[in-house]
Amino acid sequence: MRILEYNDNHVYNYGSTTSVNYVPVPSAVTVGSYDGVHKGHRKIIARMVAVAQCRGLRTVVVTFEPHPRRVLKGEVAGPLGLLTTLDEKVELLEGEDVDLLVLVRFTPDFASRSSDDFIRNFLVGLLGAKCIIVGYDHAFGRDRSGSRETLERLGSELDVAVEVVKEVLIGNEHFSSTKIRRMLDAGMIEEANVFLGSPYMITGTVVHGDKVGTQIGFPTVNLRLIDPNKLLPHSGVYLAHTVIDGISCKALMNIGVRPTLSSAGIISLEAHIIGYSGDLYGSVIRFTLLKFIREEMKFLTVDELQCQIEKDKKTVELYY
pLDDT at 139 over 70: no
Residue 178, pLDDT score: 87
If one compares 179 and 170, the residue with the highest pLDDT of the two is: 179
Task: Name the least confident of 78-82, 130-134, 224-228, 301-305.
Answer: 78-82
pLDDT at 112 over 90: no
Mean pLDDT of 163-171: 81
Residue 173, pLDDT score: 72
Distance of CA 252 to the CA centre of its chain: 22
Give the pLDDT confidence of 189-204 residue by residue, as tens digits: 999 999 999 999 999 9
pLDDT at 109 over 70: yes
pLDDT above 90 coverage of the chain, percent: 57
Give the pLDDT confidence of 223-232 residue by residue, as tens digits: 999 999 999 9
Q: Looking at the structure, do residues 222 and 303 belong to the same domain, yes or no?
A: yes
Contact 33, 64 (CB under 8 A): yes
Torsion (CA) 199, 204, 206, 211 in degrees, nearest 10: -70
Cα 122 from Cα 6, distance rounded (Å): 10
Contact 140, 31 (CB under 8 A): yes
Determine the Cα angle at 79 with ends 76 and 81, to 5°: 135
pLDDT at 144 over 60: no
Residue 173 forms part of a structural domain: no
Cα 161 from Cα 286, distance rounded (Å): 39
Q: Which amino acid is at 200?
A: Y
Q: Looking at the structure, do residues 89 and 11 belong to the same domain, yes or no?
A: yes
Residue 176 forms part of a structural domain: no
Q: Looking at the structure, do residues 228 and 163 belong to the same domain, yes or no?
A: no
Residue 137, pLDDT score: 74
Domain span at residue 42 reads 2-167
Of the ranges 35-39, 58-62, 172-176, the best mean pLDDT one? 58-62
Q: Looking at the structure, do residues 163 and 53 belong to the same domain, yes or no?
A: yes
Q: Quickly state the pLDDT bin for 206 (edges 50, 70, 90).
A: very high
If one compares 55 and 69, the residue with the highest pLDDT of the two is: 55
Q: Roughly what angle, to the nearest 10 degrees, separates helices 189-196 and 177-185?
A: 160
| CATH at residue 253 | 2.40.30.30
Q: Looking at the structure, do residues 273 and 155 belong to the same domain, yes or no?
A: no
Mean pLDDT of 64-71: 85
DSSP E strand stretches across 81-172: 100-105, 129-135, 161-165, 169-170
Cα 57 from Cα 47, distance rounded (Å): 13
Mean pLDDT of 303-313: 88
Residue 303 forms part of a structural domain: yes
Residue 175 forms part of a structural domain: no
Q: What is the pTM of this model?
A: 0.90
What would the DSSP string read from start to end of 232-275? P-SSEEEEEEEEETTEEEEEEEEEE--TTT-SS---EEEEEETT
Q: Looking at the structure, do residues 25 and 88 belong to the same domain, yes or no?
A: yes
Total residues found in the chain within this entry: 320
Q: Looking at the structure, do residues 13 and 157 belong to the same domain, yes or no?
A: yes
Residue 177 forms part of a structural domain: no
Residue 78, pLDDT score: 58
Contact 130, 55 (CB under 8 A): yes
Average pLDDT over all residues of the chain: 88
Q: Looking at the structure, do residues 112 and 211 belong to the same domain, yes or no?
A: no
Asked whether the bond before 219 is cis by omega within 30 degrees of 0, the reply is no
Residue 190 forms part of a structural domain: no
Cα 239 from Cα 246, distance rounded (Å): 19
Contact 63, 102 (CB under 8 A): yes
If one compares 299 and 25, the residue with the highest pLDDT of the two is: 25
Q: Looking at the structure, do residues 315 and 224 belong to the same domain, yes or no?
A: yes
If one compares 215 and 83, the residue with the highest pLDDT of the two is: 83
Q: Looking at the structure, do residues 31 and 148 belong to the same domain, yes or no?
A: yes
Q: Quickly state the pLDDT bin for 265 (edges 50, 70, 90).
A: low
| CATH at residue 154 | 3.40.50.620
Residue 178 forms part of a structural domain: no
Look at residues 201, 182, 199, 179 and name the one whose alpha carbon lies nearest to residue 190.
199
Residue 186, pLDDT score: 96
Domain boundary among 167, 183, 216: 167
Q: Looking at the structure, do residues 16 and 162 belong to the same domain, yes or no?
A: yes
pLDDT at 145 over 60: no
Would you call 206 helix, strand, or coil by DSSP? strand
Q: Looking at the structure, do residues 135 and 229 belong to the same domain, yes or no?
A: no
Write phi, then psi, for 125 (nearest 5 degrees).
-65, -45
Domain boundary among 148, 167, 186: 167
Residue 295 forms part of a structural domain: yes
Contacts of 247 (CB under 8 A, 6+ apart): none
Report in angstroms the alpha-carbon separations of 83 from 129, 185, 191, 260.
28, 12, 14, 29
Residue 212, pLDDT score: 72
Domain count, the chain: 2
Domain boundary among 119, 143, 167: 167
Residue 146, pLDDT score: 57
Mean pLDDT of 161-188: 86
pLDDT at 111 over 70: yes
Cα 24 from Cα 100, distance rounded (Å): 12
